[in-house]
């Protein structure tokens, strides 16, 4: 649709040419019609507005192409053009004079102007009916009305509602037959944790491969003897004592629980401290700095997201700066020759439990006893970590009213029960005294439901005589079992021989 531009120049167009004479004279619009002049100022303004509408209509009609107007309406358009041109040439709308010869009644000037305006508007409206002018605003309103009518047909969506009568929602990542240990009771909104075995991590799954179990165990036993601290290093320390070391380890347990660090991280940190103190003399003012840097190294070695060095400065109550912690870290790594892969008692505990398929309660109680041994350097530095884990396992089975040892454990672990006598008796003393000592961080840790509250279990009272009797019973039962197995073998061989004779 073509657009029309109406030129309105009031200064030039309102001045009309004189009807006669040699010179052109510009006369104001209001003085050309005597009727308008008599009507007053308001009528003159109305007449001027009327003439502007007529000119606008005239310019619009001039731009209309014959093809845009139907043939039946071309005559009306042409007639309207002629009337408007005649009115423009006259300079005003011609109205009937007062008292004309046809005997028409005299009308007031104002009424005559209104009649003339009504007649012109009627002609204009008739001409406008010939075409339609595009109006963007009306189209937008039309689209909005259509959109509203379409929205009426759609149902209003209510708020998100919970899907009822669905116990388990299957997702692309869900397994058809394995359910999550976390089940949600939608009726009450309470999370219920089912009592299922804790899934093993990748390291423990690797221990389940039977072809590699004995090779892994042999390698770990060789590695623990290569990197072990000196048992009597505290005698060469001039400014620290065993009690200071115990307080330091208890504080490290609290820190590891505060930052949710793994138990292996704590065991590695204590190992780094003992190895460092075996070669370096430390004053008591720097002992906490050694422990902080050792835990920082162990966290970066074992954790996926270790705490920042600023966190370790914060836990020391700003006793040391970041520079001091980083310098101590460099010194520890230099003394340890960057040899940080050391098997701890926790590593052997996990391996023993996987190899022998032991329940979680036995595992957690074994871990609890092993961590209690970290508090005392003497006598536990005289034992290797595999012996500490084996002795803690035997003592945990005793506390849970299970057979302390068996032939299967002896074959898989590689230790006879009689060879573990000293470590089992020392661990029994430590376990019995755990409730009365001043350091209670480890006890509080294993009182949680995560570890099945094994710290509340009573310790097994075990003396040297009792242990000897258990060893004798175990040896007797094993001998009897061996004899019975031999006798059974002989009977089977005899039966096979007799069957061959009868055949």
**Residue 210: per-residue pLDDT:** 80
Torsion of CA 427, 431, 436, 442, to 10 degrees: 100
For residues 88 and 54, what is the distance between their CA atoms, to the nearest angstrom?
Answer: 9
**Residue 239: per-residue pLDDT:** 92
**Which carries the bigger pLDDT value, residue 134 or residue 332?**
332
The residue whose two tokens read 């009365």 is 436
Average pLDDT over residues 473-501: 62
Phi, psi of 251 (to 5 degrees): -65, -35
Residue 466 pLDDT > 70, yes or no? yes
Q: Where are the beta strands (DSSP E) in 280-354?
A: none
Residue 503 pLDDT > 70, yes or no? no
Residue 235 pLDDT > 50, yes or no? yes
Query: What pLDDT, in 10s, does the model give residues 380-405?
Result: 999 999 999 999 999 999 999 999 99
Average pLDDT over residues 365-379: 95
Residue 475 pLDDT > 60, yes or no? yes
79-93, 158-172, 463-477: least confidently modelled range: 158-172
Residue 134 pLDDT > 50, yes or no? no
Pairing type for strands 190-193 and 182-185 reads antiparallel
Query: What pLDDT, in 10s, does the model give residues 63-79?
Result: 444 444 455 455 565 66
238, two tokens:
């001039």
Residue 487 pLDDT > 70, yes or no? no
Q: Which residues of 68-103 are buried (b: 16+ CB within 10 A; e: fewer)?
A: ebeeeeeeebeebbeebeebeeebbbebeeeeeeee
**Residue 327: per-residue pLDDT:** 97
DSSP codes of every residue in 185-211: ETTTTEEEE---PPPP-HHHHHHT-HH
Return left, alpha or beta for 476; rule: phi > 0 is left, psi -120 to 50 is alpha, else beta. Answer: alpha
**Residue 88: per-residue pLDDT:** 53
Residue 208 pLDDT class (50, 70, 90 cuts)? confident
Task: Answer whether 44's CB lies under 8 Å from 26's CB.
Answer: no
**Residue 437: per-residue pLDDT:** 93
pLDDT, the chain, mean: 73
Q: Which residues of 187-204 are buried (b: 16+ CB within 10 A; e: fewer)?
A: eeeeeeeeeeeeeeeeee
Residue 26 pLDDT class (50, 70, 90 cuts)? very low
Top mean pLDDT of 11-20, 138-147, 487-496 is at: 487-496
Residue 287 pLDDT > 70, yes or no? yes
Residue 376 pLDDT class (50, 70, 90 cuts)? very high
Report the share of the chain in percent with pLDDT over 70: 54
For residues 351 and 329, what is the distance between their CA atoms, to the nearest angstrom?
Answer: 30
For residues 345 and 380, what is the distance between their CA atoms, to the nearest angstrom?
Answer: 11
Query: What pLDDT, in 10s, does the model give residues 159-176?
Result: 544 444 444 444 433 333
Residue 194 pLDDT > 60, yes or no? no
For residues 166 and 147, what is the distance between their CA atoms, to the nearest angstrom?
Answer: 38
Expressed in angstroms, the distance from the first to the final Cα of the chain is 117
Query: What pLDDT, in 10s, does the model give residues 412-457?
Result: 999 999 999 999 999 999 999 999 999 999 999 999 999 999 999 9
**Residue 212: per-residue pLDDT:** 85
DSSP codes of every residue in 73-121: GHHHHHHHHHHHHHHHHHSS---PPTT-TT-PPP--HHHHHHHHHHHHH
Q: Which helix (H) or strand (E) holds 314?
A: helix 309-315
Phi, psi of 241 (to 5 degrees): -130, 175
Query: What pLDDT, in 10s, does the model give residues 43-59?
Result: 444 555 555 555 544 44
The residue whose two tokens read 């099945």 is 452
**Which carries the bigger pLDDT value, residue 86 or residue 218?**
218
Write the CA distances from 317 to 229, 289, 501, integer angstroms.
30, 12, 88
Q: Mutual orientation of helices 109-128 and 41-63 as an angle, nearest 10°?
A: 20
**Residue 140: per-residue pLDDT:** 52
**Residue 176: per-residue pLDDT:** 37
133-147, 182-196, 198-212: least confidently modelled range: 182-196
What are the structural domains, with CATH classification, of the chain? Answer: 231-336 (1.10.472.10), 345-462 (1.10.472.10)
DSSP codes of every residue in 260-278: T--HHHHHHHHHHHHHHHT
How many helices (H) and strands (E) would you count in the chain? 20, 2
Query: What pLDDT, in 10s, does the model give residues 292-319?
Result: 999 999 999 999 999 999 999 999 998 9
**Residue 476: per-residue pLDDT:** 84
Q: Which residues contact 181 (CB under 8 A, 6 or more apart)?
A: 193, 194, 196, 199
């Amino acid at each position: 649709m073509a657009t029309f531009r109406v030129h309105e120049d009031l200064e030039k167009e309102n001045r009309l040419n004189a009807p006669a004479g040699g010179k052109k004279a510009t006369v104001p619009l209001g003085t050309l019609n005597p009727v308008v002049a008599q009507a007053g100022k308001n009528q003159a303004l109305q007449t001027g507005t009327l003439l502007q509408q007529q000119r606008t209509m005239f310019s619009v009609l001039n731009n209309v192409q014959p093809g845009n107007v139907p043939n039946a309406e071309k005559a009306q358009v042409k007639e309207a053009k002629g009337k408007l041109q005649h009115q423009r040439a006259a300079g005003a709308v011609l109205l009937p004079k007062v008292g004309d010869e046809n005997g028409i009644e005299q009308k007031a000037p104002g009424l005559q102007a209104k009649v003339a305006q009504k007649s012109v508007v009627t002609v204009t409206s008739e001409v406008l009916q010939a075409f339609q002018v595009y109006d963007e605003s009306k189209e937008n309103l039309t689209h909005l009305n259509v959109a509203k009518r379409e929205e009426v047909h759609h149902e209003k969506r209510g708020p998100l509602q919970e899907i009822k009568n669905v116990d388990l929602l299957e997702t692309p990542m869900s397994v058809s037959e394995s359910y999550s240990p976390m089940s949600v009771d939608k009726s009450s909104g309470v999370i219920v944790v089912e009592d299922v075995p804790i899934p093993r991590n990748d390291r423990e799954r690797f221990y389940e491969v039977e072809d590699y179990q004995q090779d892994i165990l042999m390698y770990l036993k060789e590695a623990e003897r290569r990197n072990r601290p000196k048992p009597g290093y505290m005698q060469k320390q001039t400014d620290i004592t065993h009690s200071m070391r115990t307080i330091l380890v208890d504080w490290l347990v609290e820190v590891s629980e505060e930052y949710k660090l793994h138990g292996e991280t704590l065991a590695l940190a204590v190992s780094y401290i003992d190895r460092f103190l075996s070669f370096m003399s430390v004053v008591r003012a720097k002992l906490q700095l050694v422990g902080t840097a050792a835990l920082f190294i162990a966290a970066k070695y074992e954790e996926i997201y270790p705490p920042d060095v600023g966190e370790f400065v914060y836990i020391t109550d700003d006793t040391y700066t970041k520079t001091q912690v980083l310098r101590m870290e460099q010194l520890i790594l230099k003394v340890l020759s960057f040899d940080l892969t050391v098997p701890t008692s926790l590593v052997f505990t996990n391996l023993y439990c996987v190899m022998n398929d032991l329940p979680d309660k036995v595992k957690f109680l074994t871990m609890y006893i092993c961590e209690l041994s970290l508090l005392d350097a003497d006598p536990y530095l005289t034992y290797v970590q595999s012996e500490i884990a084996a002795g803690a396992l035997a003592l945990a089975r005793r506390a849970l009213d299970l057979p302390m040892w068996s032939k299967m454990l002896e074959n898989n672990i590689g230790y006879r029960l009689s060879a573990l006598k000293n470590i089992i008796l020392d661990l029994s003393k430590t376990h019995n005294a755990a409730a009365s000592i001043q350091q209670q961080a480890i006890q509080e840790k294993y009182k949680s439901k995560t570890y099945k509250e094994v710290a509340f279990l009573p310790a097994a009272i075990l003396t040297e005589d009792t242990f000897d009797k258990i060893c004798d019973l175990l040896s007797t039962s094993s001998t009897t079992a061996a004899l019975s197995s031999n006798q059974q073998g002989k009977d089977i061989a005899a039966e096979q021989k007799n069957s061959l004779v009868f055949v």
